Each structure stands twice: as C-alpha cells, then as structure tokens.
Structure 1
Amino acid sequence: MEESRVAFLRRLISSPSPSGFEQPAQATVREEIKHYTDEIRTDIHGNVIASLNGQGAPRVMLEAHCDELGFLIRYIDENGFLYFAPVGGFDPSTLPGNRVHIHTPNGVVNGVVGRKPVHSLSPEERDKAPKLTDLWIDIGATSKEEALQRVPIGSAGTRAADLEVLHGDIIISRALDDKSGVFAITEAMRRIHERRAQLKANVVFVSAVQEEIGLRGARTAAYSVNPQLAVAVDVAPTSDIPGAAKSKMGDIQMSKGPVLTVGAHINPRVYQLLVKAAEEAGIPYQVEPAPAGTSTDADVIQVARGPIATGLVSIPCRYLHTGSEMVSLKDVDAVAELLARFVLSLDADTNLIP
C-alpha cells in the first residue's frame, strides 16, 4: 500500500481517542472522509456519519470504531503519583513500564506506568499478574500540588505508542484495534468514490465511538442511519502464535487475507455476497465461525432498529489490547478492496432475505 495512503492511518493513530474522548480522532476522520462523500455530519454521541449517492438503493452502512483503550486519572497521592481507572479492557500484566501520554487542557504530559520493582516483590507476588489497583503513573512530580497543576483529575490518557513499520508490510502500534478498521473503510470509500459511475447503492460511512465500553456508538448510529444492510469492520485475534488454541479459536493467520465471520449474528446473504466478491476478485479470505455473539459492533447493529442484514469483516491482528498490536497492510488493503467490490455489486434488487 502506498505510503501516501498510510499517512492517513499514521495521523489517525496520532490522534488520541479513548472511549468517550474521541474528538481528536474524529476531527482527523472528518478531514479525510469529506473527499469521498457527498454529505457528512457528526451526531450528539460523536459518531461521524458520511453518505455517498444518497438517492441510491439499498442503503448500506460501512462501520468501524475509532475509540481506543485508555485511562482516566481519578486520584493523586501526596507524593504526586497518579492513580487511574481503565477505559476498556486492559490486561494489567502488559502495563508496567509503559510510557503514556496524559491529555490535558495545556497539552500532553508524559508519564510512565509504575509498580513495585521485581526486587521488592514477594515470591507470591512474582507468580501473579499485577492488579490495576497496584499500578500508578509517574510524571516526575514531587508533590500532589505539583501534579495537580500539570494534570487535572479526570484527564484522559493513552499509551505512547505510535505507528511503526516492523518489517515489510507488517506494522505495529497501539489502537490498530480499531483504527486499522477505520482506515480500511475510509480506503473502501475512496475506491467506491473513484468508481461511483458503477455505484447503485447509497453507501454510508460510520466512524463509531465507545465500542470498547459497550458497543455504544454503533448502536445509536445504526438506529439513525437505518440501513437495509451493514458491514462492521474490526480486528480479529490470530491463532498463528505460540500456544494459541486453534481448536478454540480456529485457524486465523496474519497476512492470509480478510476474516469473514459466519454465524447467528451474521446475515447469510451478506456473508455469501462477501464471499462471492472475494472469490471473483481473487482475494484470499479466512472464515471465522461465531455460534453466538461476535463481541463486535456487528452484534448491536443487527438489532439496532428493525432487522438489519449485517456482516462482519475483520483484519487479522496479533497482540490485541497491547501497545504493540500488529497487522499486515496487505490484509488491510484486501479488506478495503473487498468492501468496495461488495458495495459496487449491490442494487435495489439485492436479496437479503435468508
């Protein structure tokens, strides 16, 4: 994928967006998506919603969430150490030693997540993962008063880990869950816009908020947009690492193409259309069976209003919810192309009835 395109993903990663504090990322999204859509708005919840070919049929929604894991400062002790509440599902064992950015009205304050040094841990403590309540953030302050002058209570923060190229088309960063998904649907909209002479559907782009704390933005956006069909784009954990239980997770690999989910929350017609689009384009894909919920925005989109024919396409991702999530740009590119071809295949006669 061209670096000129990846530059948008870099800007998006650099725009912080803990759940409930997504405004910087959504400003970056609006600046980009306006080039590929006819109308754009931001709702009260903070979802960015943009439409192309508004008079077309059917109405199809492409959705990904822009929010990321973060933390909220809730207490500062007398020595100036900051204690925090997690925003989203952190694994506490991945946090000690992480560098962090705390976003305040006066700019970014740098910090480090601290815990007792290994030399001071009892044998029992060494054998256990730390609890979040055992961790703090050190900003180099020497007193509560100094820390409060720099960081107000209620400030939000993120890991300080921007996008880097690991090797070839493999990138690492915080927040690829799910900013790589937002990048993929933006790129799909760019390609659809380039081929809009072929477009019969009304396609609605949604960069949703607050997925990490309960799939909230997708629910309200889907109710507002009221699409006939929708595709959510997220990341999927891979089983191509040591110790992964393929018998439980399936065989999902990085650099092997988009992951298409099949199961109770997925409309079979949408799934079949995605498979057809992939096969006709020669795009390799992987199948993820989901017997019930998918733990993604697809679950709430499906039943947000009346029945919505919903699909789920995922980007294979290693090391989810860490500061070094890993994806292949080749997979991201394939997701974008698959979505573009899928949308361009739709018309008013597309059958969505199972």
Structure 2
Amino acid sequence: MEATSKAFLEQLITTPSPSGDEVAVQRVWMDYVKGFAHQIETDMIGNVMASVNPDNPFKIMLAGHCDEIAFMVSYIDSNGYIYVTKAGGINPKVALGMTVKVLGHEGTLKGIVGVKPQHKGGPKDKIEVSDLYIDCGANTKEEVEKFVMIGDYVIYDTNYEYLLNDKIVGRGLDNRTGAFIVAEVLRRIADKDPKVAVYAVSTVNEETNMGGAYFAASHINPTMAIACDVSFATDHPDMSPKESGEIALGKGPILSKGAPISKKINGLLEKVAKVNELPIQYELTPGSTGTDADRIRLTGKGVPVALVSLPLRYMHAPCEVASLKDIETEIELLVQMILSLDGTENLKPLE
C-alpha cells in the first residue's frame, strides 16, 4: 500500500466518528478526495459524495460508511461518575476495564469503564449497558459538567497497530476501511477515463439507522450500487465456519449472495476476479444484508445492488483485525470492474 494511502487510512482510524457525529472524519475524507475528484457534494444528513464523470448517465455508486459504534452520556451522578447508553451495536461486556474518551462539548475527557475487582467477586455474568459507569477521576458532578453534557459521545481509547502478515488492528475498522476503499477506488480510476460516472460516498449513520445511504442514493439516483462494508471472518477459535461460512483473512473480499443482491452485478465482479486472478470469498444474506445495501436498493424505482465485504475478526470489539492484503485486493477488484463497464450494461434480471 502506498505511503500516502496508508497515512490516510491511519488518519481515518484515529479520527472519532461516532454514529450521529461524523463531521470530523468526513472532513478528513473530503480533504483527501479533493485532490482527484471531479466533483464533491455534501447533503443535509452529513454524507460526502465525490465523483468522476458525474455527467455520464450511467452511474455506479460505491458506498462505505464512516461511522463507528459508540456510547452516549445518559446520566452523571453526584460523585462525577458517567453513565451511558448505546449508539449502535456496542457490546457492554467487552467494555469493562477499557479506557475511553468522552467527547465533551467543552473538551475531551479520558476515563475508564469501572470493573469490580476479581478478589471481590468480579463482574456479574450478564452485563447490561446500564451497569456500566465511567470514572474520569472527578470528585463531583459539577467537575464533569464543565466538559460534558447529556448526549455527548464516548468512544474506546484505542487507535491502530500492525500485526504479522500485513494485518492491521484498530478501533472501528467497521467501517473506516469501507470509507477508505471507496475513496481509493475513485483515486485509482480518476485518470483512467472510465466510461461511466463513478460516485464514491462516505455515508453516515449506518451503525444506528442506515439513513445516510438512503438519502445519498436518493440524491445520486444510481444505475447500480455496491456497498463496501465488513463481514465476519471465521478463521479464529470463537467462530464456526459451519454456521457462518468459511471466511479467512488474506483470502480476498467477500461477495454476498441472497435476495437483496443483483446476480448480474455479482457476475461482473466474478468475471473480473477470474480474468485478473483475484481471490474472492462468499457469504449468504438470504433476506437482508444488515448494511447500507438494504437502504440503497429501496430508493427511487429500485436500485440493483451488490455487497463487497472485507473479512474482519472481532467485529464491534474495542479492537478489530483486518488484512491489508484483502483491502488491496478489494480495491483492485472494484477498479477493474468499473473499468470493464461501457455504460450499456442491462442490469434487469429478466432482460
């Protein structure tokens, strides 16, 4: 991976982007794509839409959501302990003992999620979000309220590291990797004269309501769309390939199969993968995908969609693990597929 691209990915990971407050990370994303996008638009929801050849009538939309799971401040007690609720599918059990950042309206406070010592019985077996409290070192409610108010976000105080075999560990790889991938695809096709319009969209709110993707697609009115997200790797001891499929890091991006997915778009991706000898894997989404693809396909008169996912270990944990090799393979797959389009493709299933 090129040094500038890697630095961009690292900046995305280190920039807070709780679902519902993605402005900071969107500014980072927008600053990167302005160097090669032909047009950049934003909307009332907070999406950023960067495009190449925007006047072409055949439009492909690539969507990667930039938001991360988080907590929100719900109560501050008289001793200055902060209580929270969930913003997205965050697991309260793995939060115990973790350091966090409280993104206060008057500055960031560092804190730790309290945990009962094992010597005194340890935490109870079933942990609810209502059991969590954050210790910022304050002595009173008034101390905390100088910085923090109800509704402020809380994120894990973790960033990124590199592991063996080109693997990256970081907070919120779900789905800063997707936002990174769509930007990189746009960069790499910008000077290659694609025969279609290409829209790379960094969407908001996927972890909480998926509204960002819906409004972005409603604005763009794409001919076809591909959601770039993450999915469950099953190559570690806690996962069962029998239940969730054989998905491994380093063996390429994942194509989804099921009712929401266009077989014709999958066919285009599979053809390019074969020609360019790019590895791909498969997952099943029989009813819905649980990603931006579900909302994009419901816009306008209906949009044919595909879902290309990055294999991910430990989804929604304070640190997640992905493969840089898979990221590069996914970018190349999408670049080559876009460059193979001539703008006359008919994506209607019966024609």
Could you say which TM-score interval applies, normalised by the shorter chain? over 0.9
Query: Match for 2:138 among 132, 138, 141?
Result: 141
**Cα offset, 1:88, TM superposition:** 0.5
| Aligned counterpart, 2:184 | 187
Contact 2:106/2:146 (8 A) holds in 1: no
What are the superposed Cα offsets for residues 65-113 of structure 1, whole Å, 9 maximum, x if unpaired? 0000111112111111000111101121110011111112333211111
Code of the residue aligned with 2:189 in structure 1: it is I
Q: Which moved more, 1:100-109 or 1:329-338?
A: 100-109
Code of the residue aligned with 2:84 in structure 1: it is F
| Aligned counterpart, 2:251 | 256
**Cα offset, 1:305, TM superposition:** 1.7
Contact 1:318/1:327 (8 A) holds in 2: yes
The separation in 1 between residues aligned to 2:33 and 2:177, in whole angstroms, is 15
Code of the residue aligned with 1:246 in structure 2: it is P
| Aligned counterpart, 1:225 | 220
Identity level (%): 40
Q: Which runs of 5+ in 1 are unaligned?
A: none
| Aligned counterpart, 1:164 | 161
Code of the residue aligned with 2:202 in structure 1: it is S
Code of the residue aligned with 2:67 in structure 1: it is D
Contact 1:273/1:342 (8 A) holds in 2: yes
Q: CA RMSD in A?
A: 1.3
Contact 1:100/1:110 (8 A) holds in 2: yes
**Cα offset, 1:55, TM superposition:** 2.3
| Aligned counterpart, 1:37 | 37
The separation in 1 between residues aligned to 2:105 and 2:17, in whole angstroms, is 15
| Aligned counterpart, 1:131 | 128
Aligned length: 349
The separation in 2 between residues aligned to 1:178 and 1:336, in whole angstroms, is 15
| Aligned counterpart, 1:89 | 89
| Aligned counterpart, 1:56 | 56
Code of the residue aligned with 1:36 in structure 2: it is F
Contact 1:58/1:346 (8 A) holds in 2: no
Give 3-state SS (helix, strand or coil) of 1:194's partner.
coil
| Aligned counterpart, 1:331 | 326
Code of the residue aligned with 2:300 in structure 1: it is R
| Aligned counterpart, 2:231 | 236
**Cα offset, 1:19, TM superposition:** 0.8
Code of the residue aligned with 1:184 in structure 2: it is I
Contact 1:57/1:200 (8 A) holds in 2: no
Contact 1:218/1:297 (8 A) holds in 2: yes
Contact 1:173/1:325 (8 A) holds in 2: yes
Give 3-state SS (helix, strand or coil) of 1:247's partner.
helix
Give 3-state SS (helix, strand or coil) of 2:112's partner.
strand
What are the superposed Cα offsets for residues 154-183 of structure 1, whole Å, 9 maximum, x if unpaired? 211211111111224100011100001111
| Aligned counterpart, 2:102 | 102
Q: Which runs of 5+ in 2 are unaligned?
A: none
**Cα offset, 1:244, TM superposition:** 1.7
| Aligned counterpart, 2:273 | 278
The separation in 2 between residues aligned to 1:206 and 1:150, in whole angstroms, is 33
Query: Match for 2:195 among 178, 193, 200?
Result: 200
The separation in 2 between residues aligned to 1:147 and 1:120, in whole angstroms, is 28
